[in-house]
Amino acid sequence: MKTPILGAFLLTMMFSCKPSVKNQASESAAKTDDSIMQIARKTFKILPSVAESKDNPLTPSKVKLGKLLYFDTRLSMTGKNSCNSCHNLATYGVDNKATSTGDAGQQGNRNSPTVFNAALHNMQFWDGRAKDVEEQAGMPILNPVEMAIPHKGFLVNRLSSVKLYQDMFKKAFPDEKKPVSYANLQKAIGAFERTLLTPSRFDKYMAGDKTAITSEEKAGLKVFFDSGCNNCHFGVGIGGGTLQKFGLVTNYRTLTRSKMDDEGRKKVTKNPADKDVFKVPGLRNSAGTYPYFHDGSIADLDTAVKIMGKAQLNKNLTDAEVKMIVAFLNSLSGNINPDDKIAPPELVKNRN
């Protein structure tokens, strides 16, 4: 017959040796958290401090000139538009319009993508027709709808007549006899754009800080993986690295009710197989880069996520799943350097 003291002792030992349900749940959650973090590190990359280029080495003088050019409306024919007009650095690098208004008041036919972190992408424009931000920088300037400069020489002559630009181009490109050139304009703007990176809480999480994002955001990251979103949205930009048909499962127009019949990359290649093929957008700062898709047809992020689930993955995401994915996307909203939002003081002082 067991004494009361011995019975109590055995009972205490039994419960002290067996982990509580609460502890087991905590350990399981920690393992899940570690597993998700490992998958994230394999799928994505932490944002670097700048987007370096072998072909366009960054220098302070070149970046400073690039910022001046980025904000200068003299890069458009009538002087109404600058790069910042459509890619506003105060609003996550977009103008939050479905399509942008050009220099002469004409409307563009595609949504202006964000310039933040774009230098890390493998291509530029919705149809991927430019290989990098330097090539991209020169195209809207000569586009008759966007900035409407008639030819490269016109703009070179315009900038060459400005003493400020004479001095700044010479400082940025000291080894060239004629530093004020269209190619150097592209390099300077590209250099500035290579500094426009926005580190986020998610980057801290990727670096090992498990508290940097919330439990809801982690749950959203898991749904993001479980749903297959990472098949297209991967890498340092969480997208921006590949071209993909929009509407793998069903015609996207039936979901977005798009008013424009844009056939995407087919317009560039003339290849029927490229119909409705577009660059996969990067998802960094996506909470602030509305409206969404190449035609700006969808105003809110929840709807855009739901449409992507159906159009690309043939999944009818529940409202709860959408909410969790959007929570994860919110963790990708980064920090914008306050100085980047403000036009250079030299531009105001020297505007002719």
Active centre residues (catalytic): 146
Query: Rounded distance, CA 277 to CA 128, Å?
Result: 10
The three-point CA angle 34-197-90 to 5° equals 120
Among residues 265, 282, 303, 221, the alpha carbon closest in space to that of 41 is found at 221
The three-point CA angle 285-288-289 to 5° equals 85
Query: Rounded distance, CA 216 to CA 340, Å?
Result: 31
Burial class (CB in 10 A: 0-12, 13-18, 19+), 46: middle
Q: Which residues contact residue 291 at a Cβ distance below 8 angstroms, ignoring those fewer than 6 apart?
A: 96, 97, 98, 111, 297, 298, 299
Sheet strands (E) in 224-264: 243-245
Query: Rounded distance, CA 285 to CA 276, Å?
Result: 24
Residue identified by tokens 């993986």 is 225
